[in-house]
Structure 1
């Protein structure tokens, strides 16, 4: 399906040739920008019967502690790495969740229902996708969390939205990932399952990246969740 691109300082939007009936808000990883996953859209080979608008926001520039305070595009500061004892940027995570919430509201105002919107993200963007969608007050179509982990885990149970208690969640991770180790993804998956979320877990023999087999799985999952 052909797409037309609209670019701005805050995002890239790909619109299908037909009027969109669904939307995917896709968040990039640390240090990247919204252009990072634009080429993947054509690789998804979505059918003409499923016209989807893809929104790729750019995170704002901010200093990142683990990178010696270097200023880069980031959805939140990363103060440390590791297990549950790591110090997290609560304020930054919630600030970015509000940004995503505004994108959802814009799509709803444009005529795409919240239940036709998937929140997706890679790495740090995937963490924001999970955080935002699990707490969003209106029913969403699904969450696509790639090579990522669940942030602010201790508050999920108390802050989770009843509207998204049974939201479809696709989690993909590379078994050789050294940036966000697969163990972090597995632990996040297990925690969500204990909270009774249904997780479609896909593991691939890759590092911190996306592979063609994964793109095929993403395409199939999107078509399933967004089928009319």
Structure 2
């Protein structure tokens, strides 16, 4: 485990729907929720949070399902000749649990509900984008590193008039053999066609979050926080 995280020890799932680590920032500051990829844990995305101003509230979330060889995952994924197969019911269960977790966050820290960002790597990026597209009132932006949009979620998001308020950062490796670069191109086109503002960057990388990719995301995060004015609200708000 990396040292010097500056976060709490893992907060037990007995208290929350998911285990997490928290770096509490200034009350009313932005909130960043980080979702790791399959096979790792919540500490793997600390490099994304470390360069951010100390005032940011940061939550590093651990996926609920342990893998036999170590690490955790959000939902099962099967790689087949015709592409990646994901069980839609398992995704729905993961989204419900993540939404319940977000509902509890105002109990942990006081953040600006108008500046909430979800970001993740690979499977974590897919889940972050899925939640934002399903419930865009919850977030301001989404950071996707080596991720993809889930087709089942895209189909169910077409009627949402709130999608244009979202901002996305998409960072993807040109040599990614797990989730090919074509998926990032498709995601960018789909999001832009539905009014979402997208910053898309390609990197000389495989299926990984390289330092350059992480730097691109953190720069985008800081610019987004400056662009979107603070709402001074204490927690997540649903539309009336």
CA distance in 2, matches of 1:138, 1:116: 11
Aligned pair in 2 of structure 1 residues 225, 52: CA closer, same or farther (>3 Å)?
same
Partner of 2:121: 122
Q: Secondary structure at the match of 1:200?
A: strand
Alignment pair present for 1:37 and 2:15: no
Alignment match, 1:66: none
Q: Does the 8 A contact of 1:62 with 1:77 survive in 2?
A: no
Residue of structure 1 in register with 2:9 after alignment? 6
Aligned residue in 1 for 2:93:
95
Q: Deviations over 1:165-222 (max 9, x none)?
A: 3300000001011121111222222222233322110110011112222222222211
Alignment of 1:27 onto 2:35:
yes
User: CA 1:19/1:12 → structure 2, altered by over 3 Å: closer, same or farther?
Assistant: same
1:1-228 matches, cutoff 5 A: 3-9=6-12, 10-16=19-25, 18-19=26-27, 21-42=29-50, 44=51, 46-48=52-54, 51-61=55-65, 73-81=72-80, 86-108=84-106, 110-136=109-135, 138-151=137-150, 153-160=151-158, 161-227=160-226, 228=230
Contact 1:167 1:197 in 2 (8 A): yes
Query: Is the CA contact 2:129–2:144 (under 8 Å) kept in the aligned structure 1?
Result: yes
CA RMSD of aligned residues (A): 2.6
How far is the alpha carbon of 1:97 from its aligned partner?
1.4
- Residues matched between the structures, number: 215
Structure 1 regions of 5+ residues with no counterpart? 64-68
In the TM superposition, residue 82 of structure 1 has moved relative to its aligned partner by: 6.2
The answer to which structure, 1 or 2, has the higher relative contact order (CA under 8 A, 6+ apart) is 2
Distance (Å, rounded) in 2 between the aligned partners of 1:52 and 1:162: 29
Q: TM-score, normalised by structure 2?
A: 0.78
Contact 2:48 2:218 in 1 (8 A): no
